[in-house]
Chain A
Amino acid sequence: MPPFQSNTNILSLTEDLLVRIYEILVSESDRKSFRLACREFLRIDSLTRKHLRILRIEFLPVLLHKYPRLQSLDLSACPRIEDGVVSLLLSQVGPASNSLRFGNWTRGLKSLVLSRATGLRFSGLEMLARACPCLESVDVSYCCGFGDREAAALSFAVGLRELNMDKCLGLTDVGLAKIAVGCLKLEKLSLKWCMEITDLGVDLLCKKCVDLKYLDVSYLKVTNESLHSIASLLKLEVLGLMACPLIDDVGLQFIERGCPLLKAIDVSRCQGLSSSGLMFVVRGHGNLLELNAGYCLSELSTALLHQIKNLKHLEVVRIDGARIPESSFQVISANCKSLVEIGVSKCVGVTNMGLMRLVSGCINLRVLNLTCCHSITDAAVSAIANSCRNLVCLKLESCNMITEKGLCQLGSFCLLLEEIDLTDCCGVNDKGLEYLSRCSELSCLKLGLCTNVSDKGLSYISSNCKKIHELDLYRCTGIGDDGLDALSSGCKELKKLNLSYCNEVSDRGLGYIGRLEELCDLEMRALNKITGVGLESVAAGCKRLADLDLKHCEKVDDLGFWALAYYSRNLRQINLSYCAISDMALCLVMGNLTRLQEAKLVHLCNVTVEGFELALRACCVRIKKVKLLATLRFMLSAEILETLHARGCIIRWD
């Protein structure tokens, strides 16, 4: 402890008390202020920090050295995670003695997020798996190059409990078998889109990893055989079977008799299923909490309804896309009292009367999805608002008949509302937004295609809903620079903003946008009034900008792109299609933005083949995905294409 402090100073507190104070701080910005306060606080921060999400790999060695108690490391946001980097990290840190070969940081590490680390291959993974003895959770989702060898390398992490391998396209049954045999303690496994996995792999998995509690085999070409194997998992609680086209009712019969602890099942988009299959599941599992059957039923049959009625603990039910008889709502309302979420989007037969009956019983509803239920009016919304005071999320996309009256009720009663989707609700106007702005917890507001909304409405929202994180103003042609002025002064926490096709927005408006320091995702397609000046103010102001879409912003000149290349060091994705960017500016953008991972570069009329070549060479070590015109395929040098391929970069030829 620093000896020079007087007793009244906060620094006289002992270390453990300071740690406790630090732990109360939840938000990342608060912690940042804390550690910037003084050296002692900085020390506390580095001693207690457990989680690290890194944006730039070049700082990683220093940071790893700084935080010895790290438990969780997220590398998904930074480019250039490769075998060489991993070996360097493992060899640089720590003293030279053999026992501490890998340094300190790996010893306590429990969780590793390597999502989209396409450059990482089996040797790097094996090094990591061997170096981290306590590793419990690994996320390698969307690593397209992840195959059987990588799975074999990962299977050295014998203590693994959670593993996410979504979209590991190269993974086959052999790799899964490696994991299943190596990681016997596995409890949570996600295999979405691992298209090569078959019944054999699933069967072996179920035989070896008997502790599985969570299993997601969505989108796989598995058959009823797999369900037969899965049914033998005694501890399974959550089962994801989304869009498995080959399973049918017979398979669900196995589930009826197996998986005694099943709590949640997702069979949405399974084309082979019918009501009777679901009846098996419901009959066998009276304690089911979550049933997701969206887009797999043509109709909610009476027989199934009477089975669902027995699910006294059911909290979540989604039957999107089905035809629902009006009487069904009465039955659900009377029996499923603990229902928290109901999804009936695109359902035929959802009426005002039905919804009124539903909410009369299910007063604990927090999430309600009524997307494309065209026939509902303000009456239904009023009933919902009156009954469900705890409503958090309401989706009303394409409910054309909603007007300010409904929003008035919501603004009066649903004060906990955090998310509302009013896309394509042309009845929404400034008055409606004024009512809605009373929901001060609102964090996500979608107003796409609401052409009746103007700057005035936006200013109501801005002044009252300070917590807005996400705002969608797609094709809100009534929005202009003044609205953005109000927005930028009110919603300081805005992270995601869509301004596409808001034609009135000019450089002045973008100047206001530049005041949003938290903004990380900005979509502003086809803003034909903005120029390089506007882009410069955005780039200079929004330091956190990670995702930028400038498609069809044809008046933006090189000045803007130069600024972008200079300021937006955190940019991760960019869409420059149809922009008037020059060779030089493109090279600068692609070469200078060292976090850039994905770029869409089609129809750049001012860029020559040499420009593309140089730009790609400048970024080839880190780019993961690039979209180019198909004609370039034969014009670019084979050398650069090979390099990109070897680095795990995916090129989409348009």
Chain B
Amino acid sequence: MDHKDRQETCFTNFSTQNQQKWEFPDPLTELLQASKAQDWDPAAMLNNLSFLEQKIHQLQGLVHLIIGRRDRVSGQVQPYELVAQQQQLVTADLTSIIVQLISTAGSLLPYVKHTQGAPSLSLGQFQPQNGGVSGGGGGGSGASELQNSVDVSTNEEHDLKDEEDGEELGENLFPGTYEILQLEKEEILAPHTHFCTICGKGFKRDANLRMHMRGHGDEYKTPAALAKPNKESSSEPALIKRYSCPFAGCKRNKDHRNFRPLKTILCVKNHYRRTHCDKSYTCSRCNTKKFSVMADLKTHEKHCGKDKWLCSCGTTFSRKDKLFGHIALFQGHTPAIPLDDTKGSTGTCDPGNDSEATNKLGSMNMFNFSSSEDVKGSMEDPSGCFSPLNFETCNFGGFHEFPRPPFDDSESSLAFLLSGSCGYTNKSGEQ
């Protein structure tokens, strides 16, 4: 049966996502196992049983729904896509309920769970979901919620760079079919959105807050308390939520003519920071690239310095052949020579000063400057200070092998160099 297949795939997807969402899945499961094994609580068991009952009812409703749908499908003509979509939603819902049933049923047998590895694992993974769907009534709304929560979790975890744009490809919502929310600027930029009601500590993620709460007492350790709370009661009509950027005139602002909504709160946050805020995070390696979102900086830092192939036009390449292809294409472009090369020959460059290494103009200037330094350096004749016997002078009758230049000369040659270096201004010291 292909139903089963789909179930399995959904199952695996779900489990991986859940695992990712929890930052410390292993301690949690251990904790749960420990509490379950030690004190066998009849109240909790009752709770679980009633939960099972509820779930079975839900399952029944769903199956009824499927039957009803099938009838309707056969009766009236509906677009095939819509049918498929609905069926998918229903199946997803079904899957989640069955999974929860299994896990909860498993929790009723603490000693079994103790000896068997696999069920305990699945319990730990799906426990948080228990409370979430427990109040769920309508199949459709539950499904959309589920989808939403899945989306959020993936976004949170991966911090996809293109999530603002990528979302549009898959989605084609008509105006009015979704609810538009607009957060205030302060809310968007607030570092924490979840606060502990006891100690006031702030968290970026609700899950982390819930983990934190465990420290405040046993009452926060129950599966219900640790479960992911459902933000809206599922009895409400299913309206998809979309977000608007508070910045007036922005394409993502709901008043814009071609308004394109943002999918999640995280999208809003990233969009707002990237588009309407200062780029305050500077890469510590290159000191050039700036970002407003920390995740972007971290992504850049993974590659920063690997783009060592630099063209005179300022473009960097991670691969030499790409740089050479670029140079072959554009007239007058040449590869820029990394500054470290001169360390051996001149010794005037400060290897620790990375800002100059990447600043193209700075390095050009540096180039000229160090060259004039070098000129001065080599003027000093070591034979003068070394040669203890000083054969040259005695044998040539006072003729020094090469006259030491007056200081003025080297100064003037330096002046020429600076004037002749195409008017590059000294930028190396800045930033």
Interface-forming stretch among A202-210, A374-382, A519-527, A572-580? A202-210
A558 to chain B, nearest CB (A): 15
**Cβ contacts under 8 Å, A203 to chain B:** 324, 328
Asked whether, in the complex, the Cβ of A87 is within 8 Å of the Cβ of B324, the reply is no
Asked whether, in the complex, the Cβ of B371 is within 8 Å of the Cβ of A57, the reply is no
Asked whether, in the complex, the Cβ of A121 is within 8 Å of the Cβ of B413, the reply is no
CB < 8 Å: which of A121, A126, A127 contacts B345? A121
Asked whether, in the complex, the Cβ of A617 is within 8 Å of the Cβ of B388, the reply is yes
A182 to chain B, nearest CB (A): 7
For residue B414, which residue of chain A has the nearest CB? A87
For residue A181, which residue of chain B has the nearest CB? B334
Asked whether, in the complex, the Cβ of A91 is within 8 Å of the Cβ of B388, the reply is no
How many of chain A's residues have a CB under 8 angstroms from any CB in B? 53
Asked whether, in the complex, the Cβ of B327 is within 8 Å of the Cβ of A181, the reply is yes
How far is B367's CA from A123's CA once the two chains are assembled, in angstroms? 9
Q: How many A-B residue pairs have CB under 8 A?
A: 127
CB < 8 Å: which of B328, B388, B410 contacts A208? B328
Residue picked from B335, B383, B413, most chain A C-beta under 10 Å: B335
Chain B positions 115-167 with a Cβ under 8 Å from a chain A Cβ = none
Chain A positions 56-102 with a Cβ under 8 Å from a chain B Cβ = 57-58, 80, 82-85, 87-88, 90-92, 101
What 1/0 mask marks residues of chain B from 30 to 69 whose CB sits below 8 Å from any chain A CB? 0000000000000000000000000000000000000000
Asked whether, in the complex, the Cβ of A83 is within 8 Å of the Cβ of B383, the reply is no
**B429 on the A face (CB < 8 A):** no
CB < 8 Å: which of B334, B346, B392, B416 contacts A121? B346
Residue picked from B376, B388, B389, most chain A C-beta under 10 Å: B389
Asked whether, in the complex, the Cβ of A148 is within 8 Å of the Cβ of B337, the reply is yes
A87-B375, A200-B320 in contact; A147/B341 too (CB < 8 A)? yes
**Cβ contacts under 8 Å, B395 to chain A:** 592
**B382 on the A face (CB < 8 A):** yes
**Cβ contacts under 8 Å, A84 to chain B:** 375-379, 405, 410
CB < 8 Å: which of A85, A119, A591 contacts B391? A591
**A122 on the B face (CB < 8 A):** yes
**Cβ contacts under 8 Å, B324 to chain A:** 173, 177, 200-201, 203-204
Asked whether, in the complex, the Cβ of B335 is within 8 Å of the Cβ of A174, the reply is yes
CB < 8 Å: which of A80, A175, A182, A587 contacts B389? A587
Asked whether, in the complex, the Cβ of B337 is within 8 Å of the Cβ of A204, the reply is no
**Cβ contacts under 8 Å, A321 to chain B:** none
**B187 on the A face (CB < 8 A):** no
A151 to chain B, nearest CB (A): 9
Asked whether, in the complex, the Cβ of B328 is within 8 Å of the Cβ of A618, the reply is no
Chain A positions 310-351 with a Cβ under 8 Å from a chain B Cβ = none
For residue A569, which residue of chain B has the nearest CB? B395
**A620 on the B face (CB < 8 A):** yes
What 1/0 mask marks residues of chain B from 359 to 385 whose CB sits below 8 Å from any chain A CB? 000000001001110111111011100
For residue A130, which residue of chain B has the nearest CB? B420
Asked whether, in the complex, the Cβ of A123 is within 8 Å of the Cβ of B372, the reply is yes
What 1/0 mask marks residues of chain A from 585 to 608 whose CB sits below 8 Å from any chain B CB? 001100110100000000000000
For residue B374, which residue of chain A has the nearest CB? A123
**B74 on the A face (CB < 8 A):** no
Chain B positions 343-367 with a Cβ under 8 Å from a chain A Cβ = 345-346, 367
**Cβ contacts under 8 Å, A309 to chain B:** none
Q: Given contacts A88-B405, A594-B392, list 18 more A-B pairs with CB under 8 A.
A: A83-B371, A83-B374, A83-B375, A88-B402, A91-B413, A121-B345, A123-B370, A124-B375, A147-B341, A149-B367, A155-B334, A175-B337, A178-B335, A201-B324, A587-B391, A588-B391, A592-B392, A621-B383
Chain B positions within 8 Å of A, measured between CB atoms, are 320-321, 324, 327-328, 332-335, 337, 341-342, 345-346, 367, 370-372, 374-379, 381-383, 386-389, 391-392, 395, 399, 401-402, 405, 409-410, 412-413, 416-417, 420
Contacts A/B (CB < 8 Å), 28 sampled = A57-B402, A58-B401, A83-B371, A83-B378, A84-B378, A85-B378, A88-B402, A88-B409, A91-B405, A92-B409, A121-B346, A123-B371, A145-B345, A147-B341, A149-B337, A149-B342, A177-B327, A181-B334, A204-B327, A207-B328, A587-B391, A591-B392, A592-B395, A617-B386, A618-B386, A618-B387, A620-B383, A640-B386
Chain A positions within 8 Å of B, measured between CB atoms, are 57-58, 80, 82-85, 87-88, 90-92, 101, 119, 121-124, 126-127, 130, 145, 147-149, 152, 155, 173-175, 177-178, 181-182, 200-201, 203-204, 207-208, 587-588, 591-592, 594, 614, 617-618, 620-621, 640, 643, 647
